[in-house]
Structures are given as C-alpha cells and as structure tokens.
Amino acid sequence: MQIDLPPLRERVAGRAAAGDGIPCSGSRSQNGKQISDFDTAAWEWLSSYHWPGNVRELKNAVERSVIMARGRQITLNDIMPRHLAERG
C-alpha cells in the first residue's frame, strides 16, 4: 500500500494550540516548560515558511523554540532560526 502525503510546504495550516497540529508536547515535557501556544507572529511564520527539510526541519525548529521560549507562548524570536532572522 502506498500513501502519498504532500510536503509541508504544500499544505495549508490552520491555527492549532501547541501540541495539537504541531508536535511539541514531547519537547515540553523533556524541558519542563509550560508552553501553551504559538503567538500570532510565530504561527504566521510557521504557516508561511516553505520547510525545505520537511517534517525533520519542523520538528527541530519546534524543539529549539521550546528550549528558547521564556514565556508561556512561543514567539517569532523563539521559532525563527537566527540565520533567517538576520536576513530580515
């Protein structure tokens, strides 16, 4: 049986709470964080980025953002890799 799934860059994402559509619950428990959601700017960036590394890149970005987050929400500064933020 073959299952064809479109790459992340071709999917349309709706707003989801952290852990619903974006896999971060494991990262939260491993790091003892109380992350509840992504802020609007972070969610918009997640939805618009083309994710050339597909699921692996998304997973790494979410894990990193949970580690970097200082509050209860993941912000754009937490989720966006530094090399992309420096480009503007």
pLDDT at 88 over 70: no
Does residue 34 lie in a domain region?
Answer: yes
Burial class of residue 42 (count of CB atoms within 10 Å of its CB; 0-12, 13-18, 19+): buried
Q: How far apart are CA 82 and CA 64, in angstroms?
A: 11
pLDDT at 14 over 60: no
Does residue 42 lie in a domain region?
Answer: yes
Query: CA of 56: how far to CAs of 52, 53, 71, in Å?
Result: 10, 6, 25
Does residue 3 lie in a domain region?
Answer: no
Residue 33: strand, helix, or coil = coil
Give yes or no for a contact between 8 and 51, defined as CB atoms under 8 angstroms apart: yes
Higher pLDDT, 18 or 4: 4
Does residue 12 lie in a domain region?
Answer: no
Whole domain around residue 34: which residue ranges? 21-87
Q: What are phi and psi of 16, to 5 degrees?
A: -135, 150
pLDDT at 25 over 70: no
Give the pLDDT confidence score for residue 17 in this predicted structure. 46
